[in-house]
């Protein structure tokens, strides 16, 4: 990726893909193979395949949900922060935030999610 803005945009849109193959294809260019993810509702997830499973389980738990980026990410020296939203049909839009660490190729290596309580 050219910069973290592009990486975060692709990451956010990848959550909207419908199949595990589509999610994995989208993630493979923007996430480290050793990616870790955690939020207060999710135990630590390690690796690309486990992260793809997390995304697919979110489709099952919240059918029809969609994610979007609310503002351009802020980033420097391998640290990134951005605000996103999840739209849930019949329930509305909720805001969340992510803190990310990334490598020299602008691939995410660690994501800490601050997810709204739904």
* pLDDT at residue 2, rounded to an integer: 84
Q: Are strands 74-76 and 66-69 parallel, antiparallel or unpaired?
A: unpaired
User: Please, where are the H alpha helices in the chain?
Assistant: 4-14, 20-28, 48-61
1 pLDDT above the threshold of 70? no
Average pLDDT, the chain: 96
End-to-end CA distance of the chain: 32
Q: Which CATH number goes with the domain that contains 43?
A: 3.10.450.50
Residue range 82-94: mean pLDDT, rounded: 97
What is the pTM for the complete model shown? 0.94
118 pLDDT above the threshold of 80? no
Beta bridge partners of 110: 36, 101
For residues 102 and 114, the answer to whether their CB atoms sit within 8 Å is: no
68 pLDDT above the threshold of 80? yes
Count structural domains, the chain: 1
State the residue range of the domain holding 59: 4-114
Lookup: tokens for 87: 């739209």
In tens, the pLDDT along 27-63 reads 999 999 999 999 999 999 999 999 999 999 999 999 9
* Backbone angles phi and psi of 95, in degrees to 5: -105, 140
103 pLDDT above the threshold of 70? yes
């Amino acid at each position: 990726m050219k910069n973290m803005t592009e990486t975060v945009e692709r990451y956010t849109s990848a959550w909207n893909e419908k199949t595990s193959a589509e999610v994995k294809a989208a993630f493979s260019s923007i996430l480290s193979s050793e990616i870790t993810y955690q939020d207060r509702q999710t135990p630590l997830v390690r690796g690309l395949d486990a992260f793809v499973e997390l995304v697919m389980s979110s489709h099952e738990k919240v059918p029809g949900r969609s994610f979007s980026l609310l503002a351009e990410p802020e980033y420097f020296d391998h640290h990134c922060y951005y605000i996103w939203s999840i739209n849930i049909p019949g329930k509305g839009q909720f805001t969340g935030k992510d803190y990310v660490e990334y490598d020299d190729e602008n691939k995410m290596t660690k994501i800490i999610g601050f997810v709204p309580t739904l």
